[in-house]
Structure 1
Amino acid sequence: MVAAVDPTYPLYPIACILSAVMLLLVLITSFIRQSWNLGVAFLCFWLFWENITFGINAIIWSDNSDIKLYIYCDIVTHMQVITSVVKPMATFIITRRLYLIASLRSVELPDKAVKHRNLAIEWTLGLALPVIVAGPFYYIVQEFRFEVLAGFGCQSTADDSSLGILLINSWAVVPPLLSIAVYYPRVLRIFYQQKRAMDHFLQSNNSVSRLSFFPIFALASIDLILTLPVGIVTIVLEVVESLVQTGNFPLYTGWNVLHSNMEPLGLSYTKLVAAGTSTLAQLYFVHWTSPVLAFAIFSLFGITAEARASYWRIICTVEGWFGWKPPIRMRKARSPTGTTEFGARPQDTSLNLDIESQPSYVDPNARAEQGIEGRGVRGLTHELEGDSYPEIAEEPYMEYNYTANTGAHPNQHRGDYDPDGEKPVDASNAV
């Protein structure tokens, strides 16, 4: 077997596959909790597919630049173009939403018309526009059907021209610059100038807490740090390379020139090294930004208390399929409400910045009955799908635990009482 051309192999494919699994966990737990931030959801979805395909590519073409798997490469290269647009657009969507929340001091928009318009804007920026860029825009400046790089696999190729930069590469620069110039400083200014008022808002509005607001803000910052430099360096290298090779930087190479020969192109690792240290470094940096960004997303959203509770719920469900049951001690350890029992299982709750598209409200006045060792029970958070308006969830029916406090069940005196007939729901399932 020929040795891999990448000296770090298999570090990169392992990182890509591991990061894809982490993103999948974030998506699954968000689906279970019905907790969505549209910008984060777009970013996680497309990053998942990009990382999984990057990992596969690095394995298949680890020691060669053979042109093969034509249909697969066609799909993957167009997906790469979509993701290259989604990453900066997701940052723009996130910072814009944070600005709306910080300025309006509210997680819900004023009326239905504004809500629908905002939703249309976000879906256009996060899905429609990237698909258009990867479709007709990319075809206008597509230089080869695809390009196979030894050690990296199939890649998209765009014409080194002013039109190519405008239609493809500019999206990695313009949205981050708008975020930095328009929304990012305004969010910071509002928080620092009106810190006391914003602290009161975050504390009084249970749907937006500091624990949920700042991870989103941190993600937008990390994405800006990774996306904007890559976009600027890519454009600069393309311009410099074109000037060195041809002496000029054309406005557009021409439709007939580009589309007369659309065959794939394969480049060995030797040719990549010969292209220069800057080109090779930029290639590595671009490929590593996706798994690094995925690790950052998981560290911010994949290890929260709500996410860990969802993982445990998934594990218990899978064990139930095989007839296994977790130890009673483990179930009790995950029951933060002690002996309180609920008559019905509520919908799962999350405060994971569902300024997202689903504001959530908690009723802090809900209390358990007086006999339960003075322990209060918080109201339920009702997560709404989409950008719906918040509703106050009904307080769940609560049973007094007579057995724990009196030693006897209230129906024990009845002749037809069956101690096995009533099985209260474990409070850990209601968290």
Structure 2
Amino acid sequence: MGIVSDPSYPAFPIISGVSFVLVLIPLPWHLQAWNSGTCLYMVWTAIACLNLFINSIVWHGNALNSAPIWCEISSRIIVAGAVAIPSASLCINRRLYQISSVRTVSVTRADKRRALFVDLAIGVGLPLLEVVLAYIVTGHRFDIYEDIGCQPAIYLTPVTFPLVLCWPIAIGIVSAVYCVLTLRAFGRRRAEFAQFLSSHTSLNVSRYFRLMALATTELVCTIPISAYGIYLNVSDGGISPWISWSDTHFDYSRIGQYPSAVWRMDHQAVVSFELSRWLVPFCAFVFFAFFGFAAEARKNYRAAWILVLKLLHFKIPAKSSLPVAASSKPSLPNVKPSLSLPTPYSAPPSFKDLYDEDDDCDTEKGAGTPVSYDFKCDSSDSPNTSSSARRSVDRTRETV
């Protein structure tokens, strides 16, 4: 009966589990780069996907209170996640605006720490504050819906709107303001912005716009979907009057348990549940679509694959080098002295500086260590030949 009543099983557990893995794949190199906004986005999305995956497996075909402690945690993750993902998007939009405004190219360590603390206050502080505020309008411990799992028991009163329901919309509006300001600043200072990027090889235009596309996509979805969720809540059960704290929390230890045959009779409840839980894997797939196929991502995939082969004791084939034909290079006579010059190499820019302009931008790039050359003169050479060779080396040094 459970399989018949839940048409999304086993598709939803599979997709949410895959989403949990996919959104965490780029996390290691983002952590190394201290890209706090994208790291918060990945971590919160992964936590939300894992929570939905566990609920869809444990409560498939039943509404039993088999894990009360987990439901206490799970219901609060749902409350925090509704604010956490828009908050992480706000951090990304805020940083993109700072880059597009190009106010300074020299950032101190104090500026880096301050930017990190602000992102943590937005991306972690706001979701935790939302959990605290949601307790004010929580009627009882939690609810369990068959095939859905644990859900917070939010009591819909006029107080619920400013404390719980309106936060995603408010955060989305602030993100929208930053997004518009970013596009405006980029349009006005396009030449200066391009010059700023060209002077720092670590910044990349395509990576900058991938982040902007991610934040804009999330922004476009947040405001209308949150508004539609409020409409579903209001039109379904109506708004109850706020009487008092004791009235709201009366019989707080109660746990609501609802079989799918009961709650699926309400069409609006079905739309609300399915919309809210499918949106989280969608956020994970959108992030992976923007950043999961970049050049650095493919490099890390190869490194991870090599690590797996090593753990399984498979032989890793070495990279084959192309043979050089003897006729491709003319053979040189026995020339003395021989001078070997190093080939300059510049590493490809990493994602760490995608929108983190707080690298030490005032550091000279490309300044290598002085190269010392050993010059040997054959005893048979005349002094004039030796002097000529020295001048040749001096010219070579100047060229290098």
TM over 0.5: yes
CA positional deviation for 1:195: 2.6
CA positional deviation for 1:235: 1.9
Are the aligned partners of 1:358 and 1:390 in contact in 2 as well (CA < 8 Å)?
no
Hey, what does 1:290 align to over in structure 2?
A: 280
Q: Which amino acid in structure 1 is aligned with residue 120 of structure 2?
A: W
Hey, what does 1:91 align to over in structure 2?
A: 89
Residue 236 of structure 1 pairs with residue 227 of structure 2: no
Q: 1:347 to 1:397 in 2, by over 3 A?
A: farther
CA positional deviation for 1:234: 1.9
CA positional deviation for 1:151: 1.5
Whole-Å separation in 2 of the counterparts to 1:271 and 1:396? 74
Whole-Å separation in 2 of the counterparts to 1:162 and 1:195? 46
Whole-Å separation in 2 of the counterparts to 1:96 and 1:396? 38
Instruction: State TM-score, norm by structure 2.
Output: 0.78
Equivalent residue for 2:310, pick from 320, 324, 327: 320
Equivalent residue for 2:125, pick from 124, 128, 147: 128
Farther-moved stretch of structure 1 (46-55 vs 98-107): 98-107
Q: Which amino acid in structure 1 is aligned with residue 93 of structure 2?
A: T
Q: Which amino acid in structure 2 is aligned with residue 124 of structure 1?
A: A
Hey, what does 2:253 align to over in structure 1?
A: 262
Residue 157 of structure 1 pairs with residue 153 of structure 2: yes
Q: 1:353 to 1:251 in 2, by over 3 A?
A: farther
CA positional deviation for 1:118: 3.1
Whole-Å separation in 1 of the counterparts to 2:363 and 2:67? 49
Q: Deviations over 1:357-387 (max 9, x none)?
A: 86376xxxxxxxxxxxxxxxxxxxxxxxxxx
Hey, what does 2:30 align to over in structure 1?
A: 30
CA positional deviation for 1:292: 0.7
CA positional deviation for 1:101: 1.0
Hey, what does 1:137 align to over in structure 2?
A: 133
Are the aligned partners of 2:64 and 2:257 in contact in 1 as well (CA < 8 Å)?
yes
CA positional deviation for 1:395: 4.5
Gaps of 5+ in 1: 334-341, 362-388, 401-431
Q: Aligned ranges for residues 203-214 of structure 1 at < 5 Å?
A: 203-214=198-209
CA positional deviation for 1:114: 4.7
Q: 1:115 to 1:320 in 2, by over 3 A?
A: closer
Q: Which amino acid in structure 1 is aligned with residue 246 of structure 2?
A: W
Q: Which amino acid in structure 2 is aligned with residue 149 of structure 1?
A: Y
Are the aligned partners of 1:161 and 1:250 in contact in 2 as well (CA < 8 Å)?
yes
Are the aligned partners of 1:143 and 1:158 in contact in 2 as well (CA < 8 Å)?
yes
Residue 308 of structure 1 pairs with residue 298 of structure 2: yes
SS class of match (2:33): coil
Residue 188 of structure 1 pairs with residue 183 of structure 2: yes
Are the aligned partners of 1:239 and 1:249 in contact in 2 as well (CA < 8 Å)?
no
Equivalent residue for 2:213, pick from 206, 210, 218: 218
Identity %: 27
Gaps of 5+ in 2: 323-341, 374-400
Whole-Å separation in 1 of the counterparts to 2:357 and 2:193? 20
Whole-Å separation in 1 of the counterparts to 2:146 and 2:347? 49
Hey, what does 2:359 align to over in structure 1?
A: 359
Are the aligned partners of 1:20 and 1:52 in contact in 2 as well (CA < 8 Å)?
yes
Structure ranking higher on relative contact order (CA contacts 8 Å, 6+ apart): 2
Q: Which amino acid in structure 2 is aligned with residue 278 of structure 1?
A: Q
Whole-Å separation in 1 of the counterparts to 2:289 and 2:204? 18
Hey, what does 2:5 align to over in structure 1?
A: 5
Whole-Å separation in 1 of the counterparts to 2:4 and 2:29? 36
Farther-moved stretch of structure 1 (288-297 vs 75-84): 75-84
Instruction: State TM-score, norm by structure 1.
Output: 0.73
Equivalent residue for 1:71, pick from 69, 93, 105: 69
SS class of match (1:154): strand
SS class of match (2:288): helix
Q: Which amino acid in structure 2 is aligned with residue 211 of structure 1?
A: S
Whole-Å separation in 2 of the counterparts to 1:285 and 1:172? 15
Q: Which amino acid in structure 2 is aligned with residue 22 of structure 1?
A: L
Size of the aligned set, in residue pairs, is 354
